[in-house]
Amino acid sequence: MTQPGKDAVPARTAVIVAGAAVLVVETLAARLVAPYVGLTLESYTAAIGIALLGIAVGAAIGGAAADHIGPARVLAGALAAGGALVLLVRPLVLLLGPLLPPGASSAMLLVGVSTLPAVTVLAMVAPAAVKHRLADLGESGRVVGQLSALGTLGALGGTFLTGYVLVATLPTWAVLATAGGSCLLLAVIAARAARIPRGDVGRAAAAVVVATAILFVVPSSCDTETAYYCASVETDPQRPSGRILRLDNLRHSYVDIADPRHLEFSYTKRFAAVVDATFPAGQRIQALHVGGGGFTMPRWLAATRPASTSTVLELDPAVVRLGRERLGVGDIPGLRVITGDARTSLRELPNDSADLIVGDAFGSLSVPWHLATRQFLTDIRRVLRPGGIVVLNVIDNAPNSFLSAEARTLALVFSRAGLLATPDQLAAGGGGNFVLVGTDSTLPVAQIRSAAAARNEPIQVITGRPYDGIAARGPVLTDDFAPVDQLLTPYRYR
C-alpha cells in the first residue's frame, strides 16, 4: 500500500514542479551562454547533454539518499537546494562567461558550471517521491509509472511554457526566479510535512536569501534581453553620432544616426560597391534584406537612392523595437519589416519582386544553417528579378571551410558567382567577413573593384577558376546536410 493520501498531492506536485524547473534551466541554458560562447549547435548540444548527465546523476544520488536519510527529508532538501541553485544559474554565467573564449569546450564548461548543480539536485526529487509514496512492492509499477509520467508532463510543461510564453514576455532572470521560487515554495510545504528541525530550515532560508541577492546584484551587459540575443547599443567613442548594435558577443551593426551614407564595417562597403557597380546612380531599387540588425543597408539605400524600397526579414521583434528606439529605424523611408523566420517569410514573397537581395542574418557567430542551403538560395533566386543580384555576408577563418561550402552552393544556383575579399583574408591564418555575390546576369567585376577602391576598400573580385578552386574545397549545403557550425573554425574578435 502507499503512504497516507494526504502526502500524495505534495509528492506528485513536487515531481511536476522539479521536472518543469529542470527543463526551464535546460531550455534557457543555450540562450544564457550565447553572449560568451556563441549560439551554435555545440551550445545547444552542451545544454542537452549536461541536463541529461545531471538527471542521471541526480536520480542515482536521490534514490540512495532516500534509502539512507529518508524520502521526506530528501524531497524537501532537494527542492530547497535546487530552487536556490536555479537562482544562481544566471549569476554564474554572467561572472564566468567573460573569462572564457568562444568554442565548444567553453560551452561545455560554462553550461556545466552554471546548470549541472541545479539539474542534479532537482533530479533527486523524483526517486525520493517514489520512495515516499511506496510502501508496498505490489504497487511499485503503478507508483513509479504515475510519478514518471507526472515528471515527464512537468518537463513538457516547462519546455513549452518557457519557449512559447515566458521567454517572449519576461527577461531570463524573471523566468529563473519563477522556476526557483516555485521549488522553494514547495520546499517549505514539504519541510513542514517532514517536520524538519527549525535550525535546518533557517540555514536553508539563509542560503536562499543569499542566492536571491546574487541573482539581482550581478549585473548584465544587455540593454535588452530578447528571446534570441543579449542586445545592446553602444556609442562609438571615435564618432559621437556612431552607434554599434551588439548582439551577444558580436558587433553586429554600425550606423551613423547623423549620416546614413556612412558605412563603417568593411563588408557593408563591399555591399555598397556591388550596388554602385550594378545599378546606375539614382536608380530606384526594390531590395530585400535577409536579417535586419541595425538596418544599416536599408538606411544607406534610402539615402543614396531616394524612392527605393526595402523589405527586411528580421527574426527578432525585440531587435526591431530596439532599432526604432535607439537607432532611428522608424525614420527610414520606404521600409517594410516582416518579423519571423526568414525561410518561411521568404516563401510568401512573390516571384521576381526584388532587384537586390542582401543576406546578413546571423545566429550569433554563424549564418543559420537553413539560410545557407541550396534550397534557400533557390527560393532567393525565385524572388530575384532577371538582372538582379544577391550579396551574402559570410564570416569564417582559415581554412575557411564554411566559406568554401557556401561559395560552392551559391555557384550551383546562380550562373555567375564571385567572392569579394582582400589577399590577406585568403592567406594562411586569414579570415573575417567575406562577401559572396550571385547573379544570372553579367557580373561587373571591374566596376565592383573600382567602386570598392573609391570607398577605400581595396579588394579582389574572385571569379572563374580561382573561385571554383575555393568552392571545390567545400561540400554542397542542402537541407539534408548543412553542418555549418562544424565547418566554422574558432571565431576571432574584430
Tens digits of residue pLDDT in 75-98: 999 999 999 999 999 999 999 988
CA gap 61, 244 in Å, rounded: 48
Average pLDDT over residues 130-146: 75
Which residue in 22, 40, 155 sits closest to 78, CA to CA?
A: 22
Which residue in 117, 125, 120 sits closest to 79, CA to CA?
A: 125
Distances (CA, A) of 152 to 90, 160, 310, 344: 25, 12, 46, 31
Q: Is the pLDDT of residue 189 over 90?
A: no
Number of H helices and number of E strands within the chain? 19, 12
Q: Using pLDDT thresholds of 50, 70 and 90, give the confidence band for residue 136.
A: low
Q: Check residue 365 and give its pLDDT.
A: 66
Give 45-60 pLDDT, tens digit per residue: 999 999 999 999 999 9
Q: Check residue 351 and give its pLDDT.
A: 97
Q: Using pLDDT thresholds of 50, 70 and 90, give the confidence band for residue 419.
A: very high
Q: Using pLDDT thresholds of 50, 70 and 90, give the confidence band for residue 137.
A: low
CA gap 88, 33 in Å, rounded: 14
**Beta strands, E only, 257-412:** 286-290, 309-314, 335-339, 354-359, 384-397
**Beta strands, E only, 4-122:** none
| Phi-psi group of 387: left, alpha or beta (phi > 0 → left; psi -120 to 50 → alpha; rest → beta) | left
Distances (CA, A) of 335 to 13, 242, 402: 50, 21, 32
What count of other Cβ atoms lies within 10 Å of the Cβ of residue 430? 16
Distances (CA, A) of 71 to 79, 131, 144, 198, 230: 12, 6, 14, 18, 41
CA gap 301, 292 in Å, rounded: 14
Average pLDDT over residues 114-119: 96
Q: Check residue 4 and give its pLDDT.
A: 44
Give 332-379 pLDDT, tens digit per residue: 999 999 999 999 999 999 999 999 999 999 876 678 889 999 999 999
What count of other Cβ atoms lies within 10 Å of the Cβ of residue 149? 11
CA gap 436, 394 in Å, rounded: 7
Give 280-339 pLDDT, tens digit per residue: 988 999 999 999 999 999 999 999 999 999 999 999 999 999 999 999 999 999 999 999
| Phi-psi group of 23: left, alpha or beta (phi > 0 → left; psi -120 to 50 → alpha; rest → beta) | alpha
Q: Check residue 467 and give its pLDDT.
A: 97
Expressed in angstroms, the distance from the first to the final Cα of the chain is: 66
Q: Using pLDDT thresholds of 50, 70 and 90, give the confidence band for residue 191.
A: confident
Residues 295, 461 contacting (CB under 8 angstroms): no
Cell numbers 540588425: residue: 293
Q: Check residue 364 and give its pLDDT.
A: 66
Q: Is the pLDDT of residue 447 over 90?
A: yes
Mean pLDDT of the chain: 89
Residues 35, 106 contacting (CB under 8 angstroms): no
Q: Is the pLDDT of residue 244 over 50?
A: yes
Q: Check residue 481 and give its pLDDT.
A: 94
Give the rounded percent of residues in the chain with a pLDDT score beyond 90. 64
One-letter amino acid at 226 equals T
List residues bridging with 356 in a β-sheet.
287, 389
What count of other Cβ atoms lies within 10 Å of the Cβ of residue 286? 15
Answer with the residue of higher pLDDT: 124 or 228: 124
CA gap 273, 451 in Å, rounded: 5
Q: Which domains does the chain have, with CATH numbers?
A: 5-221 (1.20.1250.20), 233-487 (3.40.50.150)
- Helix axis angle for 125-133 and 140-161, nearest 10°, is 150
